[in-house]
């Protein structure tokens, strides 16, 4: 290669970028600036000073979105909604067993969550629990009713209440983990017994539940 051929190459190396290189660098810098702007917008605090919450997913997504709309409008959630937002009630079961092992009663948030297991802490009336049993269709066989009576005598106050929604309630129940599974052995469910159901939404003037000889 001659000296004349080397001079243009040297000029290109010492001179400015080519037009194609300039367009590439301009596009790269613009992309970096757009990414920085998007990141700063995503981290802008919402009302209350907290960062924007991630998009809710899973079975409870609709409930979380409804709560987010309330908060975005500058309103406050009820205590019960706050408790559920912080921790799903069914996820507190291990802590419930730990409290039972220590014979310790719950604080207000857990008092609400543990109602999803059918346990109501009834203080200050009594320093004990009321266990609500959900009866399938409000029908019990004689052997099952005898099982409820045995539960009430062994682990409660020796009596049970019949509710207007055809459920049973055993009062004066201590918090002892080994006793919680007994209702399931007679096909009476305590889990989610206090949760809203179709029967809980029915008209108030329905006839009260009763015990028939048949």
* Residue 121 belongs to some domain of the structure: yes
* Residue 171 belongs to some domain of the structure: yes
At 125, which CATH number? 3.90.480.20
Distance separating alpha carbons of residues 214 and 203, to the nearest angstrom: 26
* Residue 2 belongs to some domain of the structure: no
* Residue 90 belongs to some domain of the structure: yes
* Residue 133 belongs to some domain of the structure: yes
pLDDT band at 100 (very low <50, low <70, confident <90, very high): confident
Phi, psi of 16 (to 5 degrees): -75, 170
Residue labelled with tokens 């408790």: 83
* Range picked from 14-18, 113-117, 176-180, 205-209 for highest mean pLDDT: 113-117
Structural domain total, the chain? 1
* Residue 35 belongs to some domain of the structure: no
Q: Which domain holds residue 129?
A: 83-196
Decide if 187 contacts 144 (C-beta within 8 A): yes
For 44-87, write each residue's pLDDT tens digit: 555 555 566 678 777 888 888 999 999 999 999 999 999 999 99
* Residue 142 belongs to some domain of the structure: yes
For 122-160, write each residue's pLDDT tens digit: 888 888 888 888 887 888 888 888 888 888 888 888 998
Decide if 129 contacts 176 (C-beta within 8 A): no
* Residue 166 belongs to some domain of the structure: yes
Residue labelled with tokens 């409930």: 63
pTM: 0.57
């Amino acid at each position: 290669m001659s000296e004349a051929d080397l001079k243009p190459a040297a000029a290109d190396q010492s001179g400015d970028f080519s037009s194609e290189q300039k367009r590439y660098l301009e596009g790269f810098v613009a992309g970096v600036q757009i990414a920085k702007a998007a990141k700063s917008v995503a981290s802008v605090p919402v009302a209350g000073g907290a960062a924007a919450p991630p998009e809710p997913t899973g079975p409870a997504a609709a409930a979380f979105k409804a709560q987010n709309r309330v908060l975005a409008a500058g309103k406050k959630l009820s205590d019960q909604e706050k408790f559920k937002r912080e921790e799903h009630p069914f996820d507190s079961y291990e802590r419930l067993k730990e409290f039972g092992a220590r014979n310790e009663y719950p604080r207000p948030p857990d008092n609400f969550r543990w109602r999803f297991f059918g346990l109501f802490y009834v203080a200050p009336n009594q320093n004990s629990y009321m266990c609500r049993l959900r009866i399938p269709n409000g029908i019990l066989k004689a052997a099952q009713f005898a099982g409820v009576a045995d539960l009430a005598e062994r682990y409660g106050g020796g009596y049970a209440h019949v509710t207007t929604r055809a459920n049973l309630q055993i009062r004066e129940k201590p918090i002892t983990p080994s006793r919680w599974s007994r209702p399931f052995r007679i096909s009476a469910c305590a889990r989610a017994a206090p949760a809203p159901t179709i029967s809980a939404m029915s008209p108030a003037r329905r006839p009260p539940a009763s015990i028939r000889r048949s």
